[in-house]
């Protein structure tokens, strides 16, 4: 059975996933070596069980992300912080020195073109956390891929290592913030 | 002033005091003054005046009498009677019944045969309770400035250092560096200009030893500093005292003025070539300024931040000159050592920790107050005989020495002798003399958190480990005490403590983790009981390479 | 002045007794990580990155302020030291708001380089996300306190080299901040000569030139060597060549 791999997109810009796609023809090689069981780039709605490796992009910024992070942890053998937002909070966390109300007001009222209002009491809209946090502050993380975004080479190296059953030692090869 | 004149002053003062039928002393230190002591003084004076006894009974405000928790305290010196919890009405009664009618006021009597008194040995506090804190003549009558006279007129500077070395006195600020050795280094350090600095920036929570000495017997400190100046070749001294001690500052100012007027400070002291002046520098409320290099910078008028040592102040101190820095209690021990000899002092206490130590008893203990005990006394004796044990219905859990830099000593170590080496074996330090008692109602995680909060607040921010590490340690303690901590958090806490201890620049940071490490050592269960594992919690390091792709 | 012999990482080296261990190590090609140290400025021993082990004592010593002794045995790269250095970088990363991706000195940052050198994969302590002020009131420069690591190089270069003492530190502990003059906007400072030395010596993106975009600014500190040797030795070194 091929390793079951998932990727998830929390509080980030999806740039890390774009970079994942930048692996280009190497993606074909990857397709032979693994099963992508959950990802924003495939059409599966629920996070499955029994996942070998999950790459998580983005910081944990709202309650939905938080729930998702725990769900991922429960169902994955290896969880990898994928990109600077997951590793450090990065751009997603730049709002942290502001109050949550100020952030919501800026986004939903001041910058709104039509019907300015702060969404409240919608059960479908997740609540913004007071601060966006790096993934490892919420759940235990086993490996880290850095960069904003990580380069395709970095991702290729990390994923290849993971598929060989190794925790990628990125600190020696591809450690690069920003 | 000459030595003969000094003796004359002493004689005259003793004769003057002898003319009174009674001598009543009341504690005029901050402890009693803060619980009605000033009104008691006024009431005593009024009662004497009303009975026209002013020429028969002398009233003197003295230093701390020790039993602070039972203040205000009043003593009838002649027969040794001590009264506790004196208020205006009791003061009136003392004059009427004890002084006029000759019968004691039973309900306020303190049993002076209690072990609280019997187990103490007073050297530093010998004058506290008997001599007037604001009268130099009273100090001189009690043998004051005789040691300075002896040093300047009979001994060579090297001889003074030798006497201190022989005494085995060690720094009372907490670290216990041999005082004689330090004096010798400063004496031999090359330099025209040298300084003597008295560290009176006492800041440990629960500590009030130095404060009591300064308020009660300021001349003793001045005398010790002057002897130090003579020994090391300095002509200028500074007392760095915190602004939070206004009464101590006032008494010091007065004492310096009186000593200068008497010629005991200034030029040609005892008709010799020795000149010595003392100035006061007031701290602005930073705990770190008790660290000697930060203190020196603060005196220089700069931001009070420590610098790496070496060079030590004994080589490069104030304005780059060799500087002798000792703490208040250390200087307070000097005069008796010179007066009675180093051998006399060395015979008290233990061979390696000689003399006595003043402790401020606080926390969950019946007799809170100021005590002086011989070094090596078992902790049990301090807590139970002198301190009277913990409050009714509770049991002793631990005692914290060394304040935020120290550690706790658990019940199983109660028989530990209180000296520098023994305290170190259980991970604590002698410290400057704060002794906080915790009983069965105390939560040790909270104790650690309290001290860490203090360190977060007092870190100067210069070095990274102390500035940031203390904040993270405090955060983890908060998390654990709120029941949100995991086993990973506890491991991280220990790692951070070790790192901050090993890498911080000055003593503040290096010792800041001690309360955490020591409560972890003896009361680890209080931490682990609070840990929790949320549902689905995966501790770090459990990812197994083999488990991937299998 | 005397020449002493000591051992650093098992290598016998010699150095002058008035030099620091850091300088001696450097002369022998032994790298010790630093952040607050900068050749030409006084040393404060604040960042603690250059701590080294000395045989015979459990204490660690900052190489930048420690003088050699004859026969001293020094270790600069033990497992304990590597771990502590990484933790120091974690502390620095956690106490500020360092978003490399949107920083003017991204890829030219000493803090970033130190994160690589200490193999910092992630920060294990919680980020503090402090609220820090950015001051763009100066005509040419910006101080962004979010990215300040309080190394005090700016304070020292301004005081020791430029002689203006515009910068100093306010507050204490975690609330320490670099301030200009009497804690006023930099642009209103009367002591600032706008020389820009502080900007060049700043190891991070805390002090930057206006008009630079992400990753565009690279700081050069060798002007210090030029000024300091000119002042001390009356020699004017050529910065373009490697020879002095």
Rounded to 5 degrees, what are φ and ψ at B297?
A: -60, -35
Taking CB atoms and an 8 Å cutoff, what residues of chain C touch A87? 121-122
Chain A within 8 Å of B491 (Cβ-Cβ)? Answer: no
Task: Determine, for residues C99 and A90 on separate chains, whether the beta-carbon distance falls below 8 Å.
Answer: yes
Q: What residue ranges in B144-206 does DSSP mark as E strands?
A: 195-200
> In which element (H, E) is residue B362 found?
strand B356-363
**Confidence band, pLDDT 50/70/90 cuts, at residue A168:** confident
CA distance A79 to chain B (A): 9
Which pLDDT score, from 0 to 100, does residue B309 have?
93
Please give the C-alpha separations between residue A55 and each of A40, A81, A172, B245, in angstroms, as whole numbers. 11, 6, 20, 60
Provide the CA B243 distance to its chain's centre, in angstroms: 16
B40 pLDDT more than 70: yes
If one counts the domains in chain A, the total is 1
Task: Determine, for residues B548 and A73 on separate chains, whether the beta-carbon distance falls below 8 Å.
Answer: no
**Enclosing domain of residue A51:** 4-96+127-173
Q: Six-digit token pair at B531? A: 């840990």
B550 pLDDT more than 80: no
CA distance A150 to chain C (A): 11
B544 pLDDT more than 90: no
Report how many Cβ contacts below 8 Å link chain B to chain C: 95
**Confidence band, pLDDT 50/70/90 cuts, at residue A125:** confident
| Rounded CA separation C50/C43 (Å) | 11
CA distance B544 to chain A (A): 8
Residue B539 neighbours by CB distance under 10 Å = 11
Q: Does any domain span residue A117?
A: no
**What DSSP string describes C42-55?**
-----S-TTEEEET
Closest partner CB to A84 (pick from C100, C130, C132):
C100
Q: Six-digit token pair at B141? A: 């009558």
B537 pLDDT more than 80: no
Give the CATH architecture of domain C3-77: Roll (3.10)
CA-angle at A163, arms to A39 and A27, nearest 5°: 55
Q: Answer yes or no: are the C-beta atoms of A78 and B548 closer than 8 Å.
A: yes
Give the neighbours of chain B: at least 3 Cβ pairs within 8 Å: A, C
Q: Answer yes or no: are the C-beta atoms of C126 and B443 closer than 8 Å.
A: no
Q: Does any domain span residue A178?
A: no
Please give the C-alpha separations between residue C228 and each of B194, B291, C20, C96, C232, in angstroms, as whole numbers. 32, 33, 17, 32, 6
Residue B260 neighbours by CB distance under 10 Å = 14
User: pLDDT higher for B536 or B328?
Assistant: B328
Which residues face B144 on adjacent strands?
Answer: none
A173 pLDDT more than 80: no
Nearest to B264 by CA among B163, B136, B161: B136
| Rounded CA separation B69/B367 (Å) | 6
B546 pLDDT more than 50: no
Q: Does any domain span residue A108?
A: no
Residue B102 neighbours by CB distance under 10 Å = 7
B549 pLDDT more than 80: no
Task: Determine, for residues C45 and B463 on separate chains, whether the beta-carbon distance falls below 8 Å.
Answer: yes
Q: Answer yes or no: are the C-beta atoms of B78 and B46 closer than 8 Å.
A: no
A152 pLDDT more than 90: yes
Closest partner CB to A178 (pick from C107, C127, C146):
C107
Taking CB atoms and an 8 Å cutoff, what residues of chain B touch C114? none
Q: If you ran DSSP here, which 8-state letter would residue B521 be given?
A: H
CA-angle at B57, arms to B48 and B75, nearest 5°: 95
% of chain A with per-residue pLDDT over 90: 85
Q: Does any domain span residue A114?
A: no
Question: pLDDT, tens digit, for every residue of A76-102?
Answer: 999 999 999 999 999 999 999 899 999
| Rounded CA separation C114/C49 (Å) | 9
Closest partner CB to C99 (pick from A81, A91, A170):
A91
B249 pLDDT more than 70: yes
| Rounded CA separation B310/C66 (Å) | 7
Question: pLDDT, tens digit, for every residue of C151-171?
Answer: 999 999 999 999 999 999 999
Closest Cα in chain C to B305: C172
Which pLDDT score, from 0 to 100, does residue A171 have?
65
Question: pLDDT, tens digit, for every residue of B395-433?
Answer: 999 999 999 999 999 999 999 999 999 999 998 999 999
C135 pLDDT more than 50: yes
Among A97-101, B532-536, C63-67, name the most confident range: C63-67
Tell me what the mean pLDDT of segment B252-277 comes to. 97
- The answer to whether the bond into B311 is cis (omega within 30° of 0) is yes
Tell me the average pLDDT of chain A: 94
| Rounded CA separation B353/B376 (Å) | 7
Q: Answer yes or no: are the C-beta atoms of B173 and B361 closer than 8 Å.
A: no
Chain A within 8 Å of C112 (Cβ-Cβ)? Answer: yes
**Confidence band, pLDDT 50/70/90 cuts, at residue C241:** low
Which pLDDT score, from 0 to 100, does residue C189 have?
97
Task: Identify the structural domains of chain B with CATH numbers, from first to last.
Answer: 3-65+74-109 (3.40.30.10), 144-346 (3.40.50.11540), 356-439 (3.10.20.600), 444-528 (1.20.1440.230)
Q: Answer yes or no: are the C-beta atoms of A40 and A10 closer than 8 Å.
A: no
CA distance C241 to chain A (A): 31
Closest partner CB to A175 (pick from C103, C116, C123):
C116
Task: Determine, for residues C103 and A87 on separate chains, whether the beta-carbon distance falls below 8 Å.
Answer: no
| Rounded CA separation B399/B407 (Å) | 8
For residue A26, count CB atoms less than 10 angstroms from its CB and return exposed for 0-12, middle for 13-18, buried for 19 or more: middle
Tell me what the mean pLDDT of segment B270-292 comes to. 95
Question: pLDDT, tens digit, for every residue of C161-202?
Answer: 999 999 999 999 999 999 999 999 999 999 999 999 999 999
**Confidence band, pLDDT 50/70/90 cuts, at residue A172:** low
Tell me the average pLDDT of chain B: 94
Tell me the average pLDDT of chain C: 95
Task: Determine, for residues B462 and C62 on separate chains, whether the beta-carbon distance falls below 8 Å.
Answer: no
Could you tell me where the DSSP H helices lie in chain C? 21-27, 79-95, 110-117, 153-156, 197-201, 223-233
CA distance A151 to chain B (A): 24
| Rounded CA separation B75/B59 (Å) | 10
A42 pLDDT more than 80: yes
Question: pLDDT, tens digit, for every residue of B195-235?
Answer: 999 999 999 988 999 999 999 999 999 999 999 999 999 99
ipTM: 0.96
% of chain B with per-residue pLDDT over 90: 91
């Amino acid at each position: 059975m091929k390793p079951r791999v998932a990727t998830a997109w929390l509080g980030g810009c999806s740039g890390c996933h774009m970079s994942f796609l930048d692996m280009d023809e190497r993606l074909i090689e990857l397709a032979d070596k693994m099963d992508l069981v959950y990802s924003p780039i495939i059409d599966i709605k629920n996070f499955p069980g029994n996942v070998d490796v999950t790459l998580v992009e983005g910081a944990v910024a709202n309650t939905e992300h938080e729930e998702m992070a725990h769900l991922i942890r429960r169902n994955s053998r290896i969880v990898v912080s994928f990109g600077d937002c997951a590793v450090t909070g990065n751009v997603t966390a730049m709002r942290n020195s502001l109050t949550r109300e100020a952030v919501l007001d800026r986004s939903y009222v001041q910058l709104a073109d039509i019907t300015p209002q702060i969404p409240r009491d919608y059960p479908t809209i997740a609540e913004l956390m007071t601060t966006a946090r790096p993934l490892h502050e919420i759940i235990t993380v086993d490996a880290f891929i850095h960069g904003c975004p990580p380069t395709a080479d970095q991702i290729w190296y990390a994923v290849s290592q993971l598929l060989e059953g190794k925790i990628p030692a990125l600190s020696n090869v591809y450690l690069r913030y920003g | 002033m000459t030595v003969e004149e000094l003796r004359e002053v002493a004689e005259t003062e003793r004769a003057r005091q002898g003319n009174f039928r009674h001598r009543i002393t009341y504690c005029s230190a901050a402890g009693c003054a803060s619980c009605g002591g000033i009104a008691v003084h006024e009431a005593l004076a009024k009662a004497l005046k009303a009975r026209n006894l002013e020429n028969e009974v002398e009233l003197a405000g003295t230093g701390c009498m020790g039993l602070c928790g039972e203040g205000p305290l009043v003593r009838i010196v002649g027969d040794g009677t001590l009264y506790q919890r004196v208020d205006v009405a009791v003061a009136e009664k003392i004059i009427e019944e004890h002084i006029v009618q000759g019968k004691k006021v039973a309900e306020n009597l303190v049993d002076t045969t209690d072990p609280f008194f019997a187990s103490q040995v007073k050297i530093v506090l010998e004058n506290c309770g008997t001599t007037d804190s604001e009268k130099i003549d009273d100090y001189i009558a009690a043998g004051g400035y005789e040691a300075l006279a002896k040093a300047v007129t009979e001994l060579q500077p090297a001889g003074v250092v030798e006497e201190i070395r022989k005494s085995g006195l060690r720094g009372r600020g907490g670290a216990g560096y041999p005082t004689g050795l330090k004096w010798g280094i400063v004496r031999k350090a090359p330099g025209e200009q040298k300084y003597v600095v008295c560290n009176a920036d006492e800041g440990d929570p629960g500590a009030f030893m130095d404060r009591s000495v300064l308020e009660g017997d300021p001349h003793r400190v001045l005398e010790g500093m002057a002897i130090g100046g003579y020994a090391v070749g300095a002509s200028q001294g500074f007392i760095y005292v915190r602004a939070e001690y206004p009464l101590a500052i006032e008494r010091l100012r007065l004492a310096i003025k009186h000593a200068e007027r008497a010629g005991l400070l200034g030029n040609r002291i005892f008709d010799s070539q020795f000149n010595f002046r003392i100035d006061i520098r007031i701290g602005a409320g930073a705990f770190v300024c008790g660290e000697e290099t930060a203190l020196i910078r603060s005196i220089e008028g700069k931001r009070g931040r420590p610098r790496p040592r070496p060079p030590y102040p004994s080589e490069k101190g104030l304005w780059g000159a060799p500087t002798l820095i000792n703490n208040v209690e250390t200087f307070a021990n000097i005069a008796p050592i010179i007066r009675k000899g180093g051998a006399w002092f060395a015979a008290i206490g233990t061979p390696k920790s000689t003399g006595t130590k003043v402790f401020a008893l606080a926390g969950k203990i019946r007799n809170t107050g100021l005590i002086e005990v011989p070094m090596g006394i078992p902790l049990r004796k301090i807590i139970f005989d002198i301190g009277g044990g913990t409050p009714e219905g509770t049991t002793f859990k631990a005692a914290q020495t060394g304040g935020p830099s120290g550690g706790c000593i658990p019940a199983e170590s109660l028989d530990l002798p209180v000296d520098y080496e023994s305290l170190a074996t259980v991970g604590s330090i002698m410290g400057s003399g704060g002794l906080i008692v915790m009983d069965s109602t105390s939560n040790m995680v909270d104790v650690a958190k309290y001290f860490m909060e203090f360190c977060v607040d007092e870190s100067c921010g210069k070095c990274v480990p102390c500035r940031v590490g203390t904040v993270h340690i405090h955060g983890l303690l908060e998390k654990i005490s709120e029941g949100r901590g995991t086993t990973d958090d506890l491991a991280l806490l220990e790692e951070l403590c070790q790192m901050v201890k090993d890498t911080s620049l000055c003593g503040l940071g290096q010792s800041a983790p001690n309360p955490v490490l020591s409560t972890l050592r003896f009361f680890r269960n209080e931490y682990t009981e609070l840990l929790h594992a949320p549902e689905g919690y995966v501790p770090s390091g459990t990812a197994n390479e083999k488990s991937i792709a299998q | 002045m005397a020449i002493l012999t000591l051992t650093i990482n098992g290598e016998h080296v010699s150095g002058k007794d008035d030099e620091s261990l850091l300088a001696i190590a450097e002369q022998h090609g032994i790298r010790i990580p630093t952040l607050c140290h900068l050749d030409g400025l006084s040393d404060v021993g604040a960042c603690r990155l250059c701590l080294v082990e000395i045989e015979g004592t459990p204490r660690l010593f900052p190489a930048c302020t420690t003088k050699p002794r004859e026969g001293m045995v020094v270790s600069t790269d033990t497992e304990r030291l590597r771990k502590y250095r990484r933790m120091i970088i974690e502390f620095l990363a956690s106490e500020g708001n360092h978003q490399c991706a949107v920083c003017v000195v991204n890829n030219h940052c000493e803090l970033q380089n130190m994160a690589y050198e200490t193999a910092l994969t992630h920060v294990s302590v919680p980020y503090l996300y402090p609220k820090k002020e950015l001051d763009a009131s100066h005509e040419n420069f910006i101080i962004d306190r979010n990215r300040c690591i309080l190394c005090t190089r700016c304070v020292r270069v301004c005081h020791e080299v430029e002689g203006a003492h515009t910068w100093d530190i306010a507050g204490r502990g975690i609330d320490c901040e670099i301030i200009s003059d009497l804690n006023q906007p930099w642009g209103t400072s009367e002591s600032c000569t706008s020389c820009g030395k502080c900007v060049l010596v700043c190891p991070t993106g805390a002090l930057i030139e206006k008009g630079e975009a992400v990753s565009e600014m690279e700081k050069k500190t060798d002007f210090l060597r030029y000024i300091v040797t000119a002042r001390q030795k009356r020699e004017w070194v050529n910065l373009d060549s490697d020879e002095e």
